[in-house]
Structure 1
Amino acid sequence: MRHEVKYQPSYALALIDLDPGESIQAEAGAMVSMSSTIEMETSTRGGMLSGLRRSVLGGESFFINTFRAEQETGQVTVAPALPGDIMALELTGETTLLVQSGSFLAATEGVDVDTKWGGAKSFFSSEGLFLLRCTGQGTIWISSYGAIHPIDLAVGEPYVVDTGHMVAFDDSVQYDVGRSGGWKSTLFSGEGLVVKLTGPGRFFMQTRSEDAFLSWLLPKIPKQGGN
């Protein structure tokens, strides 16, 4: 397998070349193009949630697409829905990565992807944000709205990030979600929420927020019947 990311950071596109027998799993709708030698299977198999649970938990779409090179080599290209960046990360089998549900783009077959509860009992809110727990060995592609900015935290080093800017972080990083005005157990979603991270480990944030963009855009859209 060979891969590269082009057109960073605003309109990134991941190009993944598969040898016979190799495959990747990608978020439904992520595929931009593929060679005629690539076979595509739509399912909820692998390490992903069952279709019902994934649908209820929000964020991710119902199906996962598997792209496989059967007899010949071929290429698959994938990209996120919004303008932004893509980063390929390698999992060694000794590391665990927690990925914000909307930032998962694709992974090789050696990567197991599952959920990890992100906080409160009101997890099933339609506005909820949940975490995907990525383990195993292989490559995972994460995406962002805007550019991806990594930060390394030392042991015990704290850092505060708006939840709308979170992309992914190492499992070694401790996290606590609360309102910016005071820490308390709450749902990992909604306005006014931040996450307090404590090292050691690396985390990745995005330079733009979908929520912030919508807050800017919606008041500018003319209401039905208006001028």
Structure 2
Amino acid sequence: MTDAVRQALKEDSDSLRAYYEKAGILVARPAAGSPCLLAVSAKGGNNAENHNHNDVGSYAVALGKSTMVGDQGGPFSYPGDYFSAEAFAKYKIKGSYGHPVPVVDGKTQSAGSAAKAIVLRKEFTEEKDLFSIDYTSAYSTPNLDKLIRTFVYDRQGEGSFTVSDEFTADTPIRFETAITTQADWKIIDDTHLLLTTGTEQMIVNIEASGKVAFTSETIEVNAPAYTRIGIALKEQSAKGYIRLKMQAKQL
């Protein structure tokens, strides 16, 4: 992307953030000299973009010099059929299953421009950046009525990043979100995870409309292996939410 194209896409850019209106991408940073070492990116967009991974609603979180959670990127080299129509289902690194976005009643995200994010709110201040999208259309789940994802980046103190999904459906459905990470991780208790790299530790606090269950799976396709941590509501529901709050562990 050239500098001219970058500038054309930017609606709002300063030392704290860059927001790309047409792409639906927010990059948010701490203030200079702040004790906050957390920086984030979050995307809306649609599933017909170049090199798309069917990942509307994806994000990445850096703590210090480490990428702790989020989109793990693409492979170093591509399998021969990586750009075929079947690749999204065959290669988990490419489809939404391998990204930090929900699986809704067993359905991953659909391909195409109709699968898109509608920006509902964007509120940017020196203290916090809020970015909220309706990405119901990204899922062809028959009974899904609405799915809203809200990102809140708080650069105050040591900082935090919250990703909240709220859904409604015509009938009770299964709902699961995910964290993708190359960090070492462990379950602290029913509502907390600990992620650790060589130099950083992050706590993930989980709030949900019901009790959750955890699953894990290693994903590797010609790239460093990473873990998909599934976080699913144990009971089917016609209305619910899962909220993940990420922040540095205080040592």
TM-score between both structures, scaled by the size of structure 1: 0.27
* TM-score (norm: length of structure 2): 0.25
Structure possessing the higher relative contact order (Cα contacts under 8 Å, 6 or more residues apart): 1
